């Protein structure tokens, strides 16, 4: 499903043909490789931008029709030209200078594209504001190529949603097998980067929405420590758990993006070392009832960690009964409070000013907004009693205790470990408009999401032809630890496999 508003936005950008994009190399190209092309004058930022636009036109709109890009920035080529002029004058801002990136469409950008969160209710949300992270990327010299599709309202509207679908952008398809989910809610960012529609992208996560699409699309994704990246001017769910995060095809590219989005106050990329795991105790979480093929892939990943010098130690997940209910009340309560506060700041063209009005809008436009699933989570959230509700405060305290002190921190302490590893998710499941998401296997996302701790996923190969990821989790503020460990693993495993855009999975297990 494609909405007329989206078509109008896309027509605002002159999309070059593949021939006019020249012979610059963007497919599977790292940020360093793109920068090397520009430094050697084999390509310009304009040429790279044209090449990505041509690839989007050929593969996102046509061909496999991934539907991963919801809107293109009509100013992208002008930005690229200005950055090329700076380069000719001897000014290069850093490793992202002239590099095209994509931004998830719940993050504000000061251009002519709306920030819709995938909803028709926000079709007029052209704010003329940059989120702080976008402003930081611009200062670093990045070209903002456009906005990525997502699970509508960041996958918080319904308890029976189909990940990757939005009324504005349609259904995002997984580039490894087009009948499979790209996972939510940063599904467009995941599919677009996997398909080389940009060098990298920014996603957002409340619980799993960076690491799941990264895992099932064969990417590196970092859910950073809460607050490390400024989360202002992003359509919210929960101030206790929402965070932007980088999504890329390598740990170094993710680290470069993290450096830029934190305003240059950190140097995560410079600290990466292939020897980062030497002598490091690593707690290994082995979920129960792992499918044999995923278990075999996980065992192989542990062998790689051991070869990199790590000391794997088995850990057992503690009893965290009550965490799910506590997290749900926190998310419902904060969704109403935070979304009402955000909607009050939107332009007059946005007529839905509260969550209750969004619910009414969806009912009035049910044929477009609710053809597959409803809005049970919204309807529960609108009934909550606010941030001063004692039940909400107790639930938040319970969440932090169970996920943090009694969860991640307790496992680390018991194992004497610096970090934990686990399978991120199972392989991508079929996109199902009738029954919604049918998760295949375990999830490592909830504890670090609720605690606000860093969580990195790195490709560990294919299962039944579909990517799966290895999670690295550490305590609050240990983002450099998970990035370093992920990099050391990646440099030995070389486990990422480029997508082949198959109509459906072939069902075999590969390296």
Query: Minimal CA–CA distance to 283: which of 108, 77, 444, 509?
Result: 444
Same domain? For 188 and 148 the reply is: yes
- Residue percentage of the chain with pLDDT more than 70: 95
Same domain? For 131 and 183 the reply is: yes
**pLDDT reading at 155 higher than 80:** yes
**pLDDT reading at 16 higher than 80:** no
What end-to-end distance do the CA atoms of the chain give, in Å? 35
- Residue percentage of the chain with pLDDT more than 90: 92
Query: Mind listing the pLDDT tens digit for each residue in 464-507?
Result: 999 999 999 999 999 999 999 999 999 999 999 999 999 998 75
Average pLDDT over residues 201-216: 98
Average pLDDT over residues 174-178: 98
Bridge partners (DSSP) of residue 313 are: 283
Q: What's the maximum distance between 2 C-alpha atoms anywhere in the chain?
A: 62
CATH of the domain at 83: 3.90.1300.10
Query: Mind listing the pLDDT tens digit for each residue in 414-429?
Result: 999 999 999 999 999 9
Same domain? For 113 and 212 the reply is: yes
Mean pLDDT, all residues of the chain? 94
Predicted local distance difference test score (pLDDT) of residue 186: 98
Same domain? For 416 and 464 the reply is: yes
| 406 secondary structure, DSSP code | I
Same domain? For 249 and 165 the reply is: yes
Predicted local distance difference test score (pLDDT) of residue 184: 87
Asked whether residue 506 is assigned to any structural domain, the reply reads no
Predicted local distance difference test score (pLDDT) of residue 12: 42
**pLDDT reading at 382 higher than 60:** yes
In angstroms, the CA 144 to CA 383 distance is 38
Predicted local distance difference test score (pLDDT) of residue 22: 54
Contact of 242 with 493, CB cutoff 8 Å: no
> Which residues carry out catalysis?
104, 185, 209
Burial (Cβ within 10 Å: 0-12, 13-18, ≥19) of residue 159: middle
The 3-class secondary structure across 446-505, one letter per residue, is: HHHHHHCCCEEEEEEEEECCEEEEEEEECCCCCHHHHHHHHHHHHHHHCCCCCCCCECCC
Asked whether residue 273 is assigned to any structural domain, the reply reads no
Domain region containing 297: 281-322+401-493
In angstroms, the CA 422 to CA 234 distance is 30
Average pLDDT over residues 44-55: 98
Position 509 confidence tier, pLDDT thresholds 50, 70, 90: very low
Same domain? For 317 and 337 the reply is: no
Same domain? For 203 and 317 the reply is: no
Asked whether residue 275 is assigned to any structural domain, the reply reads no
**pLDDT reading at 511 higher than 60:** no
Buried b (16+ CB within 10 A) or exposed e, 371-384: ebbbbebbbbbbeb
3-class DSSP state of 92: coil
Predicted local distance difference test score (pLDDT) of residue 440: 79
End-of-domain residue from the set 355, 370, 392: 392
Asked whether residue 500 is assigned to any structural domain, the reply reads no
Same domain? For 458 and 378 the reply is: no
Same domain? For 333 and 455 the reply is: no
Average pLDDT over residues 101-115: 98
Same domain? For 345 and 314 the reply is: no
Average pLDDT over residues 260-284: 97
Asked whether residue 501 is assigned to any structural domain, the reply reads no
**pLDDT reading at 147 higher than 60:** yes
Total count of domains within the chain: 3
In angstroms, the CA 475 to CA 470 distance is 17
Asked whether residue 274 is assigned to any structural domain, the reply reads no
| 370 secondary structure, DSSP code | -
The token pair at 1 is: 């499903």
**pLDDT reading at 18 higher than 50:** no
Same domain? For 302 and 423 the reply is: yes
Asked whether residue 455 is assigned to any structural domain, the reply reads yes
End-of-domain residue from the set 372, 392, 412: 392
Predicted local distance difference test score (pLDDT) of residue 468: 98
Asked whether residue 507 is assigned to any structural domain, the reply reads no
Predicted local distance difference test score (pLDDT) of residue 23: 77
Predicted local distance difference test score (pLDDT) of residue 475: 98
Same domain? For 208 and 155 the reply is: yes
In angstroms, the CA 146 to CA 198 distance is 10
Position 3 confidence tier, pLDDT thresholds 50, 70, 90: very low
Cut 0.85: pTM above it: yes
**pLDDT reading at 129 higher than 70:** yes
Place of tokens 């064969």: 218
């Amino acid at each position: 499903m494609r909405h007329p508003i989206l078509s109008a936005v896309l027509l605002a950008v002159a999309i070059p043909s593949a021939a006019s994009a020249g012979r610059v190399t963007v497919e599977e190209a790292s940020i360093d490789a793109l920068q090397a092309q520009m430094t050697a004058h084999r390509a310009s930022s304009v040429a790279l931008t044209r090449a990505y636009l041509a690839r989007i036109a050929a593969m996102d709109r046509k061909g496999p029709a991934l539907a991963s890009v919801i809107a293109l920035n009509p100013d992208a080529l002008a930005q690229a030209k200005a950055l090329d002029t700076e380069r000719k004058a001897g000014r290069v801002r850093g490793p992202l200078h002239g590099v095209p990136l994509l931004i998830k469409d719940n993050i504000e950008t000061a251009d002519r594209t709306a920030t819709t969160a995938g909803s028709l209710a926000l079709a007029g949300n052209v704010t003329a504001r940059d989120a702080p992270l976008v402003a930081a990327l611009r200062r670093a010299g990045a070209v903002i190529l456009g906005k990525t599709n997502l699970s509508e309202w960041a996958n918080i509207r319904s308890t029976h949603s189909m990940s990757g679908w939005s009324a504005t952008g349609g259904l995002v398809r997984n580039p490894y097998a087009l009948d499979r989910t790209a996972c939510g809610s940063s599904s467009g960012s995941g599919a677009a980067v996997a398909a080389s529609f940009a060098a990298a992208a920014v996603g957002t996560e409340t619980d799993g929405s960076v690491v799941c699409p990264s895992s099932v699309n064969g990417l590196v994704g970092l859910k950073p420590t809460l607050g490390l990246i400024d989360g202002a001017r992003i359509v919210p769910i929960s101030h206790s758990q929402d965070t932007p995060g980088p999504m890329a095809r390598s740990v170094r590219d993710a680290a470069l993006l993290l450096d830029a989005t934190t305003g240059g106050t950190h140097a995560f990329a410079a600290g990466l070392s292939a020897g980062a795991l030497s002598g490091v105790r690593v707690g290994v979480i082995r979920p129960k009832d792992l499918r044999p093929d995923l278990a075999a892939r996980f065992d192989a990943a542990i062998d790689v960690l051991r070869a990199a010098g790590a000391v794997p130690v088995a850990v057992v997940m503690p009893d965290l009964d009550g965490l799910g209910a506590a997290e749900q009340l926190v998310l419902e309560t904060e969704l109403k409070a935070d979304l009402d506060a955000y909607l009050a700041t939107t332009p007059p063209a946005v007529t839905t000013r509260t969550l209750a009005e969004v619910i009414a809008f969806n009912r009035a436009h049910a044929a477009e907004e609710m053809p597959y699933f409803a809005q049970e989570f919204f309807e529960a959230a609108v009934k909550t009693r606010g941030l001063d509700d004692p039940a909400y405060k107790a639930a938040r305290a319970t969440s932090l205790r169970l996920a943090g002190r009694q969860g991640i921190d307790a496992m680390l302490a018991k194992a004497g470990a610096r970090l934990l590893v686990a399978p991120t998710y199972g392989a991508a499941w079929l996109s199902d408009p009738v029954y919604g998401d049918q998760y295949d296997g375990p999830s490592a996302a909830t504890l670090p999401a609720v605690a606000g701790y860093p969580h990195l996923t790195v490709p560990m190969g294919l299962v039944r032809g579909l990517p799966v990821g290895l999670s690295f989790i550490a305590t609050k503020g240990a983002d450099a630890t998970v990035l370093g460990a992920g990099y050391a693993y990646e440099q030995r495993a070389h486990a990422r496999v480029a997508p082949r855009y198959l109509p459906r999975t072939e069902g075999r297990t590969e390296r």
